[in-house]
Amino acid sequence: MRGGDIESRGEKNRGSNHASSHAVEDTDTPWLSWLIPLFVVANVVMFVIVMYFNNCSKHDQGCVARFLGRFSFQPLRENPLFGPSSSTLERLGGLEWKKVVHQHQGWRLITCIWLHAGVIHLIANMLSLVIIGIRLEQQCGFVRIGIIYLLSGIGGSILSSLFIQRNISVGASGALFGLLGAMLSELITNWSIYTNKVCALLTLLVIVAINLAVGILPHVDNFAHIGGFLTGFLLGFVLLPRPQLGWMQRRNLPAGVRVNSKYKAYHYGLGLVSLVLLVAGFTIGLVLLFRGVNGYDHCHWCHYLSCVPTSKWKCGGN
């Protein structure tokens, strides 16, 4: 999952007061990004801890990179991503449906976000997080991006648990897709401040489509991607609208000119509808999950969202 600098903000200042009045506040005074680097460090540290507890060299003679001692990887036939065993991931907080539902371990919906199946999995996700997350944090601040990241990860975990009930799921992909979803809703809600709007929208849609398409391959949890993306998309309408230009420059306006509202009417409308949908989605999802409902019983075609069988591969069960 990769994302880049989708679009430069504001209009270029060519020396006139009119042009400078269209500059976007966040472009001139960007936030310092520290939360996303902290998330990267936390994920790397968690992977090291997982490998320490995995201790392949003690239990298996076919470990990869045995010179690493207890940090050596499981045999590639067991884990081709150069990582720990499934049992270790399960023991340390991987998302496992039976434990969440029948043993009331709902905390796994959160802990699984910080675990990765291997070095390849970790590097791919952390590169994506740096490329997507740092730019967003610089524009929007650490509070809003932190909320989007964490809630999107949980949203992805909930949807994944409703459908993937026989396998362990780990990774930050749901949270990362949440950031992509927030980028899309931020573009929509702040449409008027973008230049080259169509190009920005098409670029972002292509990035999202490619990453969702990768999710239909076997052994990839696309439900976590979809759940995270939808959560981030709705949160973007709630948390990422930009103030009106007049509100930002109200101190410089003539005495008789006032802007009473910080946001436009449609900002409030989109934010309210999105918040209602978000609360309803989380509530319904959690109720269905802890009742032990299998999503496939109510959506028989939904397995195509996570894996499409072809002549080259087959899709396993749920």
Catalytic residue positions, numbered: 173, 225
Return the CA Rg of the chain: 22
Cα(2)–Cα(186) distance, rounded to whole angstroms?
18
DSSP class of residue 106 equals T
d(CA 77, CA 231): 35
Three-state DSSP class for 73? strand
**What backbone phi and psi angles, to 5 degrees, belong to 286?**
-70, -40
Structure tokens at 79: 């884990």
Of 96, 110, 116, the C-alpha closest to 40 is 116
Residue 24: its H or E element: none
Q: Could you report how far apart the first and last alpha carbons of the chain are, in Å?
A: 23
